[in-house]
Amino acid sequence: MPKLSFPVGPQHPALKEPENLRFTVDGELVVDADIRIGYVHRSIERSCSERNYVQDLYLCERVCGICSNAHTLCYCMAVEKIADVEIPERAQWIRMIMHEFERIHSHLLWLGVAGYEIGFDTLFMYVWRDREVVQDLLEMVSGSRGHYAMPILGGVRYDITPEMETKIREGVAILRQRTEHYADIATTEATFIMRTQDVGAVSGERCRQLGAVGPVLRASGVDWDIRTVFPYLKYDQVQWQVRSSELCDVLGRTLVRVQEVIDACDIITQALDQMPEGEIQAKFPRKVPEGEATARVEAQRGELIYYVRSDGSDVPARVKIRTPTLANLPASIEMVTGGYVADIPIAFASIDPCFSCTDRMVVLDDLRSGDSRQMTWAELVKLGRGR
Amino acid sequence: MQVVTPLFHVLVFPGFLFLVAFGLFASWIDRKLIAKFQNRVGPPLLQPLADFIKLLAKEDIIPEHANRAMFAAAPLVALAGVIASIVYIPTWSSTALAGFQGDLVVVVYLLTLPAFALFLGGWYSTNPFATIGATRVISQLFGYEVPFFLACLGPAIAAKSWSISEITYAQADGMWLVTAAPLGFLVALIALIGKLERVPFDIPQAKTEVITGPEVEYTGRRLAVWKLTFMTETIVGATLIAALFLGGPHFWGIPFAAMPAWLAGAVGMIVLVVKILLVVFFLALAQAAMARIRIEQMVQWCLMYLGIPALINIGVIAFVIRQVGA
C-alpha cells in the first residue's frame, strides 16, 4: 500500500484540544509526524501587560482549566518575589494542599482520558466517577470545581475550617483506596497492558535532550521533580518521594501518575496534620517595585515557569509563561513516529497534552535569512486562514 | 401458488421486521447493560429506535471522489446478506424456513458479507481514515473468520449433518452440543465479537484512532443501514450460536411434541429469545471489561487462542465420535 498522509486534528475524537498533527503512514506504521500548534492562542501574555497585577492573577488562571491552580500559584510566587512579600505560614500550607488537590484531579482526569483513548470506556467512567470526590472537596474549599482562584497575591483567598478538614480527610481516604485499585488495574489488566507496554517509548537520555519534563521525564528513569530540585511551599517538611519508573513507555507514565495521586493524598493528610493556625493573607502593595523574578513549580504536567518583569507601576511590563506541554511536544513527536497508527492517540495523550496552556506568542525565525519577527494575533489568523 | 406465507416469513417474522425490531431491542439491552456495568443509568427503551429515525432524517452526502455505485451498494449488500441468512437458521422450531444440507456453509458465508461490504464501502469512500479502517476490517477477518467456521464445524461433526436444522434437532433430547464442544462454543462466542466489531475487537471502527473507520463518510440513511446491519447481525449471530450449541428453541423437559403447533412455536421462540439475550449479555460484559487491542495483537491472539482451540475442538469431537462408534 502506498504511503498515506492524514491529519489528526484540529478536530478529532482523540484530541481534547485542537492542534494539527500530520502523519505519514505506511500501512499501520507511522513513518513521519509533524505538529502544528496555535489553535488556542488567546494572546494572554500581551493581555497581561495591559492589566494590573490583580487582574492578571485571574487572567493567568484561565490559561488552562486543568492546571489553573498551578498557574496562579506560579504567578503569585513570581510577583511576591519581586515585591519581596513573605506570605504567612498557614497560607503556604493551604497553597500546598490545593496544589496537591489539583494534581489528584488532573491525574485522574488523565487516567480516564487514557482509558478512553484505548477504547476502555469502563475505566474512563469509573475513574471520572471517583474524581467527583476531589471535585466536591475543591468546591467545598474554594467554591469552584475548575478555577479555584485560591492563591492570591499575599496568601490564599479562603481558609480551611475544621469541618472542611474532616470532610477532606474522608474524601482523601476514599480517593487513596480507589486509586490503589486503579494502580492494580494498570499493572494487571491484560488488555490495558497490551495497549500501553512498549508504546511511545523514549529513553531517559533522549528525554533530557528533547527537554521533556514532568511525568514524561520521570517515567523514563530520570528523578527530576521541581518540588525537590527547587523546593517551594512546604514540600521539604512532609514525607513523600519522587516517583519514577524505568519503563520509559506509556505504562511507565501511567504508573508514575497513579503513584503521584496516592502521594498527593498522603501529602494532603500530613499537611492537615501539620498546618499551624494563623493568618492566611499578608498585605500586598498595589504598585509592585521595579524588578524581575522567575518562579517555577511542578505542575501536573511538568515544570511550569513564570517570568515577570515589573517597571514599578501596577501593571506588569512583561509576563512570560513556559508551560510543560510545550517542553514535552518534541518528545511526543518522537513517541508517535515509528509506532502504529493505533498507538497515536494513547502515545500522544501520554504526555498529558494541554494545548490551552501551550499556545503563546509566535516568534518566527527565517532559516535562510536569519531574520526573526513577531506576529500579532491578526497576522497569525491571516496566516492560518491563507494556508 | 402459496406466496403469502413465505412472504410473511421473509418480510415480517422471522425475517426483516422481526430482525429489525429485535435488533433494536437487543441494542437497547446491550447499551443498558454496559451502562450498568459502568455505574451509569443508560438510555431509555426506545433510544435505538430514536437514533435510527434521527439518522433517516439526516442529509445524505456522498464524497466527491467516491465511487457512487459501490458507496451506495455496500450497506445494502451487507444488510441483505444478514437478513437472508435468517431463512436458514431455525428459530421457533427445529426446522428453518428453507433449510437444506449445507446451509451451515451458506449462512457462514452470508455472515461474512458485512465485513467485505464494509471493506469495499470504506475503500471506495476515498477518505484516508476509511482506507485505514477498511484494511483493518480485512486484517481482522483473518483473525476470527477461520476459527469461527471451525468452531461451527464442531456441532456439525457431532450431529453428523451439514444442515443447521438437523443439528438443532439433534439437541432436541436435551443434550445440548455445548457439552460436546465447549471449546468450540467459547471460540464461536469470541469470534462473534470480532465479527460484530465490538470491543476488544472494534479496531476497524476505533473512534479515537480512525474516527469510525470505513463508516466515516456515511451519513443519514446509509449510516442507518450500517447500524442496522450490525444490530441484526448480532441477532443472527446469536441465533446461529444458540441453534448450534445451545439447542435453539429446545429446552430440557419441555414436551414440544405434545403441544399444539402454535404453542410449541411460541414457547420455542421464548426459549430462543432467552438464549439470544444470554449471548448479548456476554457480548456486553466483554465490551465493558476490556480495552481495545491493536490489529496485529488481535490477529496474533486470535490465531493462537482461537484457531488452535478450534482445531483441538474438532480433533476431540472426531476422536470421540470414532470411539463411540455410531
Residue A86: Cβ within 10 Å count: 10
| Chain A residues whose beta carbon lies within 8 Å of the beta carbon of residue B128 | 4-6
CA distance B147 to B306: 6
Give CA A200 to chain center in angstroms.
19
The full 3-state SS of B276-316, as one line of letters, equals HHHHHHHHHHHHHHCCCCCHHHHHHHHHHHHHHHHHHHHHH
| Chain B residues whose beta carbon lies within 8 Å of the beta carbon of residue A14 | 208-209
Q: What is the mean pLDDT of residues A80-95?
A: 93
The pLDDT assigned to B207 comes to: 67
| Chain B residues whose beta carbon lies within 8 Å of the beta carbon of residue A192 | 291
Contacts of B195 (CB under 8 A, 6+ apart): B111, B114, B115, B144, B145, B148, B233, B237
| Chain B residues whose beta carbon lies within 8 Å of the beta carbon of residue A121 | 34, 38, 199, 288
How confident is the model over B35-87, as pLDDT tens digits? 999 999 999 999 999 999 999 999 988 888 888 999 999 999 999 999 999 88
The full 3-state SS of B42-86, as one line of letters, equals CCCCCHHHHHHHHHHCCCCCCCCCCCHHHHHHHHHHHHHHHHHHH
For B33, the closest chain A residue by CA position comes to A122
Give the amino acid at A96.
Answer: M
CB-count exposure of residue A249 (10 Å: 0-12, 13-18, 19+)? buried
What is the rounded average pLDDT for all residues in chain A?
85
Q: Which of A228, A230, A256, A285 is nearest to A84 (CA)?
A: A285
| Chain B residues whose beta carbon lies within 8 Å of the beta carbon of residue A341 | 132, 209-210
| Chain B residues whose beta carbon lies within 8 Å of the beta carbon of residue A189 | 290-291
Enter the C-alpha cell of residue B155.
456441532
Contacts of B260 (CB under 8 A, 6+ apart): none
How confident is the model over B313-322, as pLDDT tens digits? 889 888 887 7
The domain containing residue A151 runs over which residues? 44-336
Enter the C-alpha cell of residue A11.
478536530
H/E element, A29: strand A29-36
CA distance A183 to B127: 39
Which of A4, A192, A345 is nearest residue B128 as measured by Cβ atoms?
A: A4
Instruction: For chain B, list residues whose CB is within 8 angstroms of any CB belonging to chain A.
Output: 34, 37-40, 128-129, 131-132, 135-136, 199-200, 202-203, 206-211, 288-297
Contact A6 B203 (CB under 8 A): no
Nearest Cα of chain A lies from the Cα of B167 at a distance, in angstroms, of 36
Q: Which of B104, B76, B75 is nearest to B88 (CA)?
A: B104
CA atoms within 13 A on the CB side of A154: 12
Q: What is the largest CA-CA distance in chain A?
A: 70
Q: Output b/e per residue, A265-291; b: 16+ Cβ within 10 A.
A: bebbbbbbeebeeeebbeebeeebeee
Size of interface A-B (CB pairs under 8 A): 83
More confident residue, A240 or A27: A240
How confident is the model over A305-340, as pLDDT tens digits? 999 999 988 899 999 999 898 889 889 888 888 888
Q: Which of B90, B93, B78, B194 is nearest to B144 (CA)?
A: B194
Residue A380, in any domain of the structure: no
In degrees and rounded to multiples of 5, residue A257 shows phi and psi of -65, -40
For A190, the closest chain B residue by CA position comes to B290
The pLDDT assigned to A185 comes to: 87
Which of A12, A119, A125 is nearest residue B291 as measured by Cβ atoms?
A: A119
The pLDDT assigned to A17 comes to: 73
What is the rounded average pLDDT for all residues in chain B?
88
For chain A, the domain total comes to 1
Nearest Cα of chain A lies from the Cα of B295 at a distance, in angstroms, of 8
Residue A363, in any domain of the structure: no
In degrees and rounded to multiples of 5, residue A292 shows phi and psi of -145, 155
CA distance A41 to B5: 67
Res A382 pLDDT > 60: no
The pLDDT assigned to B158 comes to: 85
State the pLDDT confidence band at B121, using cuts at 50, 70 and 90.
very high
CA atoms within 13 A on the CB side of A25: 22
Residue A372, in any domain of the structure: no
Res B30 pLDDT > 90: yes
Contacts of A62 (CB under 8 A, 6+ apart): A44, A68, A147
Assign residue A201 the CATH number of its domain.
Answer: 1.10.645.10
How close are the terminal C-alpha atoms of chain B, in Å?
Answer: 42
How confident is the model over B254-273, as pLDDT tens digits? 777 777 778 888 888 888 99
How confident is the model over A282-301, as pLDDT tens digits? 999 888 899 999 999 999 99
Give the amino acid at A312.
Answer: G
Residue A373: Cβ within 10 Å count: 10
Nearest Cα of chain B lies from the Cα of A364 at a distance, in angstroms, of 32
Contacts of B300 (CB under 8 A, 6+ apart): none
Nearest Cα of chain B lies from the Cα of A137 at a distance, in angstroms, of 21
Q: Does A23 touch chain B (CB under 8 A)?
A: no
Contact B292 A120 (CB under 8 A): yes
State the pLDDT confidence band at A268, using cuts at 50, 70 and 90.
very high
CA distance A80 to A152: 10
Cell 473507520, residue? B213
How confident is the model over A203-250, as pLDDT tens digits? 999 999 998 999 999 999 999 999 999 999 999 999 999 999 999 999
Contacts of A346 (CB under 8 A, 6+ apart): A114, A117, A118, A195, A196, A199, A200, A250
Nearest Cα of chain A lies from the Cα of B160 at a distance, in angstroms, of 38
The pLDDT assigned to B142 comes to: 85
Looking at residue A294, the DSSP 8-state letter turns out to be: E
How confident is the model over A106-133, as pLDDT tens digits? 999 999 988 888 888 899 999 999 999 9
CB B143 within 8 A of CB B303: yes
Res A252 pLDDT > 60: yes
Res A370 pLDDT > 50: no
| Chain B residues whose beta carbon lies within 8 Å of the beta carbon of residue A118 | 208, 291-292
Q: Percentage of chain B with pLDDT > 90?
A: 42
CA distance B166 to B68: 43
pTM for this structure? 0.83
The pLDDT assigned to A363 comes to: 47
Give the amino acid at B288.
Answer: A
Which of A14, A192, A340 is nearest residue B291 as measured by Cβ atoms?
A: A192
Nearest Cα of chain A lies from the Cα of B187 at a distance, in angstroms, of 18
Residue A218, in any domain of the structure: yes
A208-212, A360-364, B197-201: least confidently modelled range: A360-364
Give the amino acid at A373.
Answer: R
SS3 label, residue B115: helix
Supply the DSSP string of A167-214, one letter for each residue.
HHHHHHHHHHHHHHHHHHHHHH-HHHHHHHTTSS---HHHHHHHT--H
Report helix angle A162-188 to A121-142, nearest 10: 160
Q: Which of A79, A123, A83 is nearest to A318 (CA)?
A: A79
Peptide bond into B200 cis (omega under 30): yes
